Structure 1
Amino acid sequence: MEILSLVFGVIGNVISVLMFLSPVGTFWRIIKHKSTEDFESLPYICTLLNAALWTYYGIIKPGAFLVATVNGFGILVEIVYVTLFLVYAAPKMRAKTGILVGLLDVGFLAAAILVTRLVLQGQVRIDATGFMCCGLNIVMYGSPLAAMVPNGAGFLLGAAQLVLYAIYRNANPSSNVSDGLEEGWQYQTLISSAASSSSEQSHEIKERN
């Protein structure tokens, strides 16, 4: 059973390494063009935080050396990615990246480690760190839903408009509405005519002067 667990652990680590290396093509493009273009640094900053927390979890949990090693590798890779953003990003993006790195990868990580080390003990510390890591994973993998929800709302509103159009497209407008529109058009015409006449009078006065 332990051998089977080790085999699956190694397979999982190989997959994790491939995932960490998957953005290599993107960063090769950044290096080649010497610009981060429209790429965002936040995913790599969050992945760095995630890898750091899982490495800490692998260190404090007995027998979790595979977790610590693969995420330690992830830390190195994500540091390279974030550094490339700091080198090749536009000044605004560079400042944003630096602030997020300070808040998340330094501030939040340090606070999480200090709290678990000073306040919690033994298995409680391990469990709390594990829950924190799992929560961060859920946030990371669920973040694309933020883009899907507005699109879904737009789809529903658009469908409602089509249904209303199909229901009322053959309806006859009431005479009151037609009269109101006609009166509004006549009123607008009078205003336009008055404005035009006033403009012409002003022009004539200027020519006489």
Structure 2
Amino acid sequence: MSFSAAYPVYEVAKDAAGVAGNIFAFGLFVSPIPTFRRIIRNGSTEMFSGLPYIYSLMNCLICMWYGTPLISPDNLLVTTVNSIGAVFQFVYIIIFLVYAEKSKKVRMFGLLLAVIGIFVIILVGSLQVTDSQTRRILVGFLSCASLISMFASPLFIIKLVIQTKSVEFMPFYLSLSTFLMSTSFLVYGLLNEDPFIYVPNGIGTVLGIIQLVLYFYFESKSREESREPLIVSYA
């Protein structure tokens, strides 16, 4: 196969991975809806953490900026997915703020203001860098760091699952969508030769696998325990 013939196939594969990442990301963005239905129904955030949505908002804003032509002209699919994601995360944070207890509410509101402030500083500061390659590297490192922090945020949930031996507070579809999206953008980043995309998404893929393994392990244990007789006869 000639290079000219292989190149379009390479581009199609890269775009396909990016589109798949967008589709799976949409699944990730809507997966918390059952959680927020429960929060609204019960009028309380219970033991749910708002941190994943704060991290996700920060990540979406920075990665959206990284994907724009002003920073990296060949990552439009990164901009589209993160623009939609930022809207979803903002809505979730507002709902969380409405139903959280006072201490959580104050903390979440402070974190939301911090996220907006940091993003404005990054946006304005990066535009002051005149060299396009330096600007891309600068914003790329920031987007990579934000992605890693977003993927690391479920570590709190993983710890809670291990402590409680229950997957109640780790929705299955959220973990599955995280894994599928990370894997898709891992492939996209590799094909696009962009370490600022494939490195953090590689970490996200590993963490997604850990969450799925924990889910199936503790879910199967819960099913086994539910089959045990409620009354034990010693006759």
**TM-score range normalised by the length of the shorter chain:** 0.5 to 0.7
Equivalent in 68, 78, 85 of residue 74 of structure 1: 85
The answer for unaligned runs of 5 or more in structure 1 is 152-209
Amino acid at match of 1:74: G
- Secondary structure at the aligned position of 1:40 is classed as coil
Structure with a larger share of its residues in helix: 1
Q: 1 or 2 for the larger relative contact order (CA 8 Å, sep ≥6)?
A: 2
Pairing 1:62–2:110 present:
no
d(CA) in 2 for partners of 1:146, 1:68: 28
Pairing 1:107–2:109 present:
no
Alignment size in residue pairs: 148
Q: What is aligned with 1:140? A: 150
Larger Rg: 1
- Secondary structure at the aligned position of 1:62 is classed as coil
TM-score normalised by the chain length of structure 1: 0.65
From the superposition, tell whether residues 147 and 11 of structure 1 become closer, same or farther in structure 2 (CA, over 3 Å).
closer
Equivalent in 31, 44, 52 of residue 43 of structure 1: 52
Q: What is aligned with 1:87? A: 98
Higher mean alpha-carbon deviation, 79-88 vs 113-122, is at 113-122
Contact 2:55–2:149 (8 Å) recurs in 1: no
Q: How does 1:10-49 map to 2 (within 5 A)?
A: 10-49=19-58
Q: CA deviation at 1:119?
A: 3.2
Contact 2:54–2:93 (8 Å) recurs in 1: yes
- Secondary structure at the aligned position of 1:39 is classed as coil
- Secondary structure at the aligned position of 1:63 is classed as coil
d(CA) in 1 for partners of 2:39, 2:130: 43
Q: CA deviation at 1:3?
A: 1.9
> Equivalent pairs: percent with the same residue?
34
d(CA) in 1 for partners of 2:139, 2:29: 22
d(CA) in 2 for partners of 1:81, 1:8: 27
Q: How does 1:160-171 map to 2 (within 5 A)?
A: none
Pairing 1:118–2:128 present:
yes
Contact 2:67–2:79 (8 Å) recurs in 1: yes
Q: CA deviation at 1:7?
A: 1.2
d(CA) in 2 for partners of 1:84, 1:16: 21
